[in-house]
Structure 1
Amino acid sequence: MALSSILPMTKTLIFAGIFICSGIFAQFSKRSLSLEKWQFKNVKDKKWLIATVPGTVHLDLMNNQIISNPYKDENEKKVQWIESEDWDYQTIFVISANEMENENVDLVFHGLDTFSEIYLNGRLLKKTDNMFRTWKISVKNNLKIGNNLLGIKFKSSINIGKNLARKVPFTMPESPRSFVRKAQYQFGWDWGPRFVTAGIWKDVQLNFWNNAKLENIKIEQKNVTKQKAELNILAEIFTEKSGKYNFLINNEAQNISLKQGLNKISIPYQIKNPKLWQPNGWGKPNMYDLKILLKNNSKIVDAKTERIGIRTVELIQDKDEKGKSFYFKVNGNPMYTKGTNWIPSDSFTTRITKEKYQKLIRDCKDANMNMIRVWGGGIYEDDEFYKACDENGILVWQDFMFAGSFYPSDEKFLNNVKEEVKDQVSRLQNHPSIALWCGNNEIDEAIVNWGYQKQFKYSKEDSLQVWKDYKKVFHEVIPNALKENLTPEKNIYWESSPSIGWGHKESLTEGDSHYWGVWWGEFPFEIYNEKVPRFASEYGFQGMPSLEIMKSMFSGNPDLNLENPIIKAHEKNARGFHIINEYMKRDYIVPKDFVKYNYVSQLLQARGMQIAIEAHRRAKPYNMGTLYWQLNDCWPVISWSSIDYFGNWKALHYQVKRSFENQVVLAEEKDGILNFYGINDDLKKYDDVTLEMEVNNFKGENILVAVSNQKKSLDGIIKFDSSSVAELIGDLDKNELFLNLILRRKDEQVIAESNHFFSKPKDLKLSKPNIIIKKVSPTEIEISTDVLAKDVYLMGDTHFSDNFFDLLPNTSKKITLSKPLEKIEVMSLWDTMNEL
């Protein structure tokens, strides 16, 4: 690689992790090369353009105005040429004489996407083939004082993938994506665009060190009591020469002897009177800092800080009369899992800020979740994601990055996967939030259920080879790598999610389930009441995003029309609009106005997921987990998400917050009979709990008041006496009535409250509500109504503490705003049923 026209800059070195001891500086430092001036170009071109690192070629092309914003209009189609090109990146950086005095210098790439050649001063150092690995190269002998040229040549993942696919004697589905170890969603999904990108997507560093370095720290939790937590600090230390060292944990020192090369040591450590890390809803996620120093002759040689939580997690699968249980026991207590599925929060992952990670995970906490599943078609997320989960008490179900395809098992691929697992597990293992490692998303199901063998005319030998490849990767290589790199108490592994496909009856009696009879099967929402699994790890329904998102799809004046090709381009499911419309006709009056249609589509999505979640929770403890698809979006899109690309809560997220409360009271209506349930997911129980029922009409007139004479103890779940709809409402019109349910404990305090409607939304005989909004303060309003205001929708550029809620007759509700608004528009379901 020839020298370029980049002008070198004199840099002030940025040191990370420098410690001072007895006036002597530490013997290690890190310098980010991402801060240098980078350039890039198509390999076919001569002109270099300004690049940003970390970044991607798509963003660099956009920043240089070579391409238009691919998120707008139908621009996605116009940028597909990028994936077939090769791209060069380079920078010149200056090395000082002082830096060259270090004994060792490592060049570290934390993420290269994907096939690249790394050159330093014209010499090829390494070829890479995995987006998810860390590439570390010793470069002391390749550096020189003064200017140094670092170049990265990226090869097209599409072209290389196609070449790899040709070596397999049968057609692999989703080829060539399964042959390349990069984020699979880049190839397009039914909620995401196709941007098969390349680039330096994580930080580039120079690490200067002398004598020795801490390679890896594992924290093993041996035993925990109220009095103490017994830990083992397992350290991998690489030394240039043997000798005596001091190993300090929070200033508690221990003398150790190290030999030349790689050393593995184990140091016991205790935390007295430990405060447990608790999942959200059970208490505080208490954390501890372990500051680890390695010293030689009073000099700090290296240092690391690990932030840990003291907790136990077990996956319980006990056989019973109905099949086999599937639930998590946390700190010795069975936990009902409530949460969602996570996809990458941008198609260009370098744009996901720390603030966005923190906000989305806080949104999970605020919606009463305790687990999030990192889906296997994306990326192993940034450290900030796991830090946010740790701090907010959100457990993580971590998929490895394999999804919905068949994968090869040649020796090179298997070794690549093994190293990928090692790198990611080493990075993530000490996070208390990580509860489970899962081999893949829907590959077992793809092999068994999706008919690829017939579609591609596989021979018997081909089909057997697919299973052999699958077992090699997910039953041997990954679990063996976990065993080698994890401490035993953290090694909870599940081969595939789901364990059994949704067309098989066993999917409801054991393991985890992805039930897609709703949406894909177009079964009614009510089927959720029958198809209740032991643990629901995926299910969902689409709803439109905020109007702000819909308008952002256009570069010019937005034409908000379902037939607009731009809007159609931002619905990635080929049958998406058809399915939404068919379900909407079942439950709602379909509006003609776009704004109202957008609103009702959100209500429809929320209604479907409410039915599913309530069916799951009523089945406790048979069912012990519900994770809906999906939390977030990677671009402006109509999708299954509960929070849109800009971070706005859709109606679904507000409903999830209500449905995931630790204590709920639920009514199930079947064949004219109402069953009533009180559910408690807390660690404490409530004594002498009673159920109150009120039948009211939409004007607020009370028809019936009934109090259950049963006083029950609410621990996990209780069922009250059933009632018939007929005895509650007699011959009155059920389309004008609703049932208000209240759970009270013995001191009269309300534990939970809900409303049950006897008819579908489209059949309700609603009156026009007189909705009044009164300003209490710049960030608080009070909203009231004279008659039932169903599904009140507050509109404005702010986050409302509650939205898409039922406001009962002659009542008011206070709402907080994230920022003041001059004007708030409001809509209710009545408006959609009475279009002009």
Structure 2
Amino acid sequence: MNKFFALFLFPILLIGQNFERSLCNENWKFKQVDKTNWLNATVPGTVHTDLLVNQVIADPFLETNEKEVQWIEKKDWEYKTSFTLSKSEFHFKNIDLQFDGLDTYASVFLNDQLILEANNMFRIWKIPVRKYLLEGENTLKVVFKSAVMEEQNIAKKQSVQLPTDERVYSRKAPYQYGWDWGPRLVTAGIWKDVKLHFWNQVILVNCNYKQVQLDSKKADLEFSVAVFSEKKQVITVKVNDSIKKVELQKGLQTIPIKYKINNPELWWCNGLGEPNLYAFKISLFADLEEIESQEMNIGLRTIELIQEQDAIGRSFYFKLNGKSVFMKGANYIPEDSFLPRVTDSVSQKRIEDAVAANMNMLRVWGGGVYASDTFYNACDKNGILVWQDFMFACAMYPGGKDFLENIKQEVIDNVTRIRNHPSLAIWCGNNEIDEAWHNWGWQKQLKYSKADSTQIWKDYQKVFHELIPNTLDSLYPEKKAIYWPSSPSIGWGRKESLLQGDAHYWGVWWGKEPFEMYERKVGRFMSEYGFQGMPNMTTFNYFTKGKSLEFDSESIKSHQKHPTGYETIKEYMQRDYIIPKTFDDYGYVSQLLQAKGVKTAIEAHRRAKPNCMGTLYWQLNDCWPVTSWSSVDYFGNWKALHYQVKQSFENLLLSVEETKEKYQVYLVNDNWQDVSGNLIVKALDFKGNILYEKSIPTVSNANASQIVYSFAKKDIPKKYRKKSVVQLLFVTKQKKINTIFYWVKPKDLQLQKPTIKITKVDALTYEITSDVVAKDVYLSSDENAHFSNNYFDVLPNEVYTITVNQLVKAISVKSLFDTLN
């Protein structure tokens, strides 16, 4: 290149387009700090997964290997790479190094210069590094201190021990330290992207927007484009076809851009309309050249949390676009103990599972991590509203100045990243901390003085009643974010918990109360409750490596993290079922038990509409293969619960409530229109003979729950109760709603041996029939295929059509009768 051309090119580069370069694909190495041997590493990644790939450790998810890798958390680790800067890259005036996630205590060295001391897994770290870089080869090193050892050192310096353990001193995913469904795998590493950002005179920092006006005729939007400029200069800001020329001052500034949409289509949640999205591109131009741009999808909608005094106490429900919506969904936890292993397709599949089960809300639980962009994008596209916890759970936290500042920056980073998603409904300060402080007896257990308790509670209020809501308000200019300090607002042992706020009800499971208590303990918004079920046998065979399945196996025991989990399942199973003799049958019945319990809760909540306006069970998914409360196991297999949820979350629901003197049939309608049809009540013996049948013209009222039929108990002959079934149908012009009801518990049914026939209709479609009632028919295949319906009852003289997601050689079938012998 001649000297004239080089001089001509340099000014163009100073104005030219900003760009990013990922450093993830460079040749990364890692080692234990006090060792000398370097091993190949993957970024994003974790120490555990890198050690696994290098065959230093066995897979922590298999057998009892989790116990053998606990040494990793106590060691310090070092990662390094080198990268080459081209001449054109080096000529940029500004170069920023950005880590989207460092886990957790990390010292970053660029060309042997310390440029960052990180201390928060949830923050984005961006450092200007132009002055440290060289044209040609550069070295980057990240040293991770043991989070566990750091926490222990901090704890030793405290005059008062905080509940629950040392993890509270780190801003790190709590679930990594072990939960009653997850392993203790305290990770370290570069767990998200690392990149260089090249720019010259101006940079697009972020973009926010607000709805100034929204009605059926138009949507007036105002975008706030945050820009940092190196000097006073004129640029053009473009939001789709809306263009504004502005004179920038040196420093950070926000540019307002107005945008109008005529005849807007609203964003609706799943089951109530289309999740309409509008695509926007926000760009900065110098002359005619685009400097930098950002893309975002916007959903036009309003969301409100309605809390008003009423005859019961105080309401707690959401209005979407001015209409009250009953929220149906689950709690969502991290999808893996090793987060970088979670692919976009896995996150998208979990949302697809939620949609398929007729959910409209997921709660991102506060003991995990803020979810990925892929997760929120999938929620946007599929109409799944998000209850978003901040990452604090089941513990008290420090209130020192540095710790509070760290939290504030964490809030800024994550709210800025998430706030524009139409799926985002509510921010919640924490999981179960208010309840824990007032109900779990920490003060007595830890022998706090009055002064100690006062200070700890004061620190709690600083974080969850001052810092977080104040920071939220600053990030939502001219509109107030919905903020709820703690979930639940009142503990499940107190009467008030059912009269106001949201409720976590754990009398069933933790309190060993019968499933029937779900029908009595119904709050205004049930944001947590649940029951465990074992995963599919394919999952057990995976982590036991195909060894014999026995409850006294150390491998089986290590994949049940609740201290009395299997004992609790067995105690409940004895109440409702005959205990099977084989492990395989036991796992199958445990899933039926889980489905039965959660069905009881969900349908009680929905029948109580509008007094109760939300039901989010614990939990949707798993972070490893385990016996837990999930409805979808680690490998994506649907348990019986998920199939049951699909039915119990239908917009039109037929549900039966048993009272002292009668059985009451409810029709619950979540649609905003009345639905007319015929209610058909049919009693059958197990051979299919009709004992009673009645058809009643019925109107299901819009957005309501109503009793449409009842049976007096005195009218049901005892001789029929153990050997008959009631089929309830609501038949409309559009569809047929079906539910089946038994008078007695499954263990008391006089079931007969069914002959179940499976007839192939086409490559992926089958028809199922039976000569007698076949209860809880379970279909499986060697290919571990997914069936459109499963764990369902087959009545004689009826044909049930199911589809399968892939070709299978054969389908195996079992029913509850098969577990009785």
Calculate the TM-score normalised by the size of structure 1.
0.95
Q: What is the distance in 2 between the residues matched to 1:772 and 1:681? A: 36
Matches of 2:693 and 2:15, distance apart in 1: 76
CA contact (8 A) 1:786 1:811 kept: no
Distance 1:702 1:718 in 2: 27
Q: Which amino acid aligns with 1:372?
A: L
| Contact 1:93 1:148 (C-alpha < 8 Å) held by counterparts | yes
**Which residue of structure 2 aligns with residue 594 of structure 1?**
583
Residue 269 of structure 2 corresponds to 279
Matches within 5 A, 1:320-335: 320-335=310-325
User: Comparing 484-493 with 815-824, which one deviates more in the overlay?
Assistant: 484-493
Q: Deviations over 1:2-49 (max 9, x none)?
A: xxxxxxxxxxxxxxxxxxxx9999521100000101000101001111
Q: CA deviation at 1:814?
A: 1.0
Query: Could you tell me which residue of structure 2 aligns to residue 412 of structure 1?
Result: 402
Q: Which residue of 2 aligns with 1:691?
A: 679
Query: Is 1:151 the equivalent of 2:151?
Result: no
Equivalent of 2:89 in 88, 93, 99: 99
1:241-280 mapped onto 2 (5 Å cutoff): 241-280=231-270
Aligned-residue Cα RMSD (Å) equals 1.5
TM-fit CA distance, 1:554: 2.0
- 2:621 is aligned, of 632, 639, 645, to 632
Structure 1 residue 126: Cα displacement: 1.1
Partner of 1:175: 165
Shift of 1:694: 1.2
Residue 712 of structure 2 corresponds to 724
Say whether 1:305 aligns with 2:295.
Answer: yes
CA distance in structure 2 between the partners assigned to 1:709 and 1:229 by the alignment:
43
Partner secondary structure for residue 796 of structure 2: coil
Measured after TM superposition, the shift of residue 166 of structure 1 is 2.1
For 1:219-618, what aligned pairs fall within 5 Å after superposition? 219-489=209-479, 491-555=481-545, 557-618=546-607
Any idea what SS the aligned residue of 2:469 has?
A: helix
Query: What is the CA distance between 1:672 and its match in structure 2?
Result: 3.6
Structure 2: distance between partners of 1:24 and 1:422: 30
For 1:86 and 1:261, locate their aligned partners in 2 and report how far apart those are by CA, in whole Å. Answer: 39
Greater shift, 668-677 or 785-794, is seen at 668-677
Displacement of 1:712 after TM fit? 6.0
Q: Which amino acid aligns with 1:55?
A: G
- SS at 1:324's partner residue? coil
- Give the residue type in structure 1 aligned to 2:692: L
Distance 1:284 1:828 in 2: 38
Question: What is the deviation of 1:715?
Answer: 4.4
**Residue 691 of structure 2 corresponds to which residue in structure 1?**
703
The residue type paired with residue 570 of structure 2 is N
Equivalent in the alignment of 2:749: 764
SS at match of 1:58: helix
Aligned residue runs from structure 1 range 198-209, under 5 A: 198-209=188-199
The verdict on how the C-alpha distance between 1:287 and 1:767 changes in structure 2, with shifts beyond 3 A counting, is same
Which residue of 1 is the match for residue 816 of structure 2? 829
Over residues 160-208 of structure 1, what are the superposed CA-to-partner deviations in whole Å (9 max), with x where a residue is unaligned? 1112222321221222111100111000000000011100000000000
CA distance in 2, matches of 1:274, 1:34: 41
User: What are the residue-to-residue correspondences of 1:727-766 with 2, within 5 Å?
Assistant: 727=715, 729-745=716-732, 750-766=735-751
1:744 and 1:341, CA in 2 relative to 1: closer, same or farther beyond 3 A? same
Structure 1: tracts of 5 or more residues without a match: 1-21
Shift in Å, 1:812:
1.4
SS at match of 2:24: helix
Query: 1:632 is paired with a residue of what secondary structure?
Result: coil
Count of aligned residue pairs for this structure pair: 808
Partners of 1:217 and 1:439 in 2: CA distance: 24
- Mapped to 2, the partners of 1:772 and 1:385 lie a distance apart of 41
Q: Tell me what 1:10 maps to.
A: none
Distance 1:35 1:238 in 2: 29
Counterpart in 1 of 2:4? none
Residue type of the alignment partner of 1:341: N
1:662 and 1:710 mapped to 2: Cα distance?
16
Q: Which whole-Å CA distance do the structure 2 matches of 1:171 and 1:100 have between them?
A: 50
Q: 1:793 to 1:167 in 2, by over 3 A?
A: same
Q: Is the 8 A contact 1:690 1:712 kept in 2?
A: no
1:653 aligns with 2:638: no
Q: Which amino acid aligns with 1:817?
A: V
Give the drift of 1:266.
1.4
Amino acid at match of 1:124: L
Is the CA contact 1:26–1:302 (under 8 Å) kept in the aligned structure 2?
no
Separation of aligned partners in 1, 2:640 and 2:703: 30
In the alignment, is the contact (CA less than 8 A) between 1:512 and 1:535 conserved in 2?
yes
Q: How far does the alpha carbon of each residue in 1:212-235 deviate from its partner, in whole angstroms, 9 at most, with x for none?
A: 011010011121111111111011
**Equivalent AA in structure 2 for residue 774 of structure 1:** T
Report the Cα distance in structure 1 between the residues aligned to 2:187 and 2:584, rounded to whole angstroms: 35
Deviation of 1:684 after TM superposition, in Å, equals 2.0
Contact in 2 for aligned 1:801/1:815 (Cα 8 Å): yes
Encode CA deviations 1:102-124: one digit per residue, 9 max, x unaligned.
11100000000000111000100
CA distance in 2, matches of 1:25, 1:798: 55
Contact in 2 for aligned 1:372/1:627 (Cα 8 Å): yes
CA distance in 1 between counterparts of 2:277 and 2:418 reads 15
Question: Would you say the 8 A contact 2:104–2:189 is kept in 1?
Answer: yes
Contact 1:663 1:751 survives alignment (8 Å): no
Q: Secondary structure in 1 aligned to 2:220?
A: strand
The DSSP-based 3-state class of the residue aligned with 1:453 is: helix
Q: How many angstroms does 1:795 deviate by? A: 1.2
Q: C-alpha displacement at 1:271, in angstroms?
A: 1.3
1:792–1:805 contact (8 Å) kept in structure 2: yes
**How many Å separate the matches in 2 of 1:809 and 1:24?**
78
Partner-residue secondary structure (3-state), 1:320: coil
Q: 1:26 to 1:810 in 2, by over 3 A?
A: farther
In the TM superposition, 1:51-70 aligns within 5 A as 51-70=41-60
What is the alpha-carbon distance in structure 2 between the residues aligned to residue 753 and residue 772 of structure 1? 21
Distance 1:753 1:477 in 2: 50
Of 665-674 and 99-108, deviating more is: 665-674
Check conservation: 1:162, 1:175, Cα contact below 8 A.
Answer: no
CA distance in 2, matches of 1:759, 1:259: 76
Task: Work out whether residues 667 and 677 of structure 1, in 8 Å CA contact, stay in contact via their aligned partners in 2.
Answer: yes
Q: Tell me, what secondary structure is at the counterpart of 1:34? A: coil
Query: C-alpha offsets along residues 487-536 of structure 1, whole Å, 9 cap, x if unaligned?
Result: 45461100000010001111000000000000000000000010000000
Q: Structure 2 CA distance, aligned partners of 1:668 and 1:776?
A: 38
Instruction: State the alpha-carbon separation in 2 of the partners of residues 770 and 136 from structure 1.
Output: 66
Residue deviations 1:526-547 (CA, integer Å, cap 9, x gap): 0001000000000000000010
- Structure 1 counterpart of 2:5: none
Instruction: Give the CA deviation at 1:733.
Output: 2.3
Where 1:323 maps in the other structure, the secondary structure is coil
8 Å Cα contact 1:435-1:490 kept in structure 2:
no
Q: 731-740 vs 94-103, which deviates more? A: 731-740
Match of 1:643 in 2: 632
Secondary structure of the 2:587 match is helix
2:111 is aligned with 1:121: yes
TM-score by length of structure 2 reads: 0.97
**Inter-partner Cα distance in structure 1 for 2:55 and 2:70:** 16
Contact 1:342 1:632 in 2 (8 A): yes
> Which deviates the most, 264-273 or 373-382?
264-273
User: Shift in Å at residue 723 of structure 1?
Assistant: 2.5
Q: 3-state SS of the aligned residue for 2:69? A: helix
Q: Which residue is equivalent to 1:15?
A: none
Contact 2:673 2:701 in 1 (8 A): no
Aligned-residue identity in percent: 50
